[in-house]
Amino acid sequence: MQGSTSAHHLRESTASQTCQPHVWSFSDTPPSQPKTPTQASAPIPTSAFSLFFCDARGLQTFVQGMQEWRSVEPCNGCAVVNVGNSLRFLSGRKFRSVVHRVAPYPGETTENRSSCAYFVGPRMDVEFEDEKGEQWKSIDWHMRKYKSYREAGKTA
């Protein structure tokens, strides 16, 4: 956003009035046999942003133009920042959200791995405009996305 808070798109509110932390998520995955990447689900990134801390391979992002999944290599002591749809809309589409998933790394047995994710999203009453120009309250948009995700047979 090049040093600006884009007050117009944030309804002239500060980030602390617009966003709130949602949840810390810790995962300790035991070893398993290789699986095909299609067995992993792809979450709809509804949060404003999320931070992922992990020490093993498995995080992938979907590259729209190439219609393929690409691995995100872990970097010791670093976090991966994933922009969600809420931040995309709140920033007036200055940020782009990316569909991501966690899948076993091709040809490898999954080792014991620990990961930690921190999700931050808009307060439930925050309003924004989607890509079609429709006005939404955060809670209504999030619930619509979550419902469509569940109906598609995905697991959270």
Note the pLDDT tens digit of each residue in 40-95: 445 555 677 788 887 778 888 888 888 898 988 888 888 888 888 888 888 888 88
The superfamily in CATH containing domain 15-151 is B-lactam Antibiotic, Isopenicillin N Synthase; Chain (2.60.120.330)
Q: How many CA atoms lie within 13 A of 61 on its CB side?
A: 16
CA neighbor of 29 nearest in space, from 19, 21, 40, 38: 40
pLDDT band, residue 28 (cuts 50/70/90): low
CB atoms within 10 A of CB 43: 19
pTM of the model: 0.58
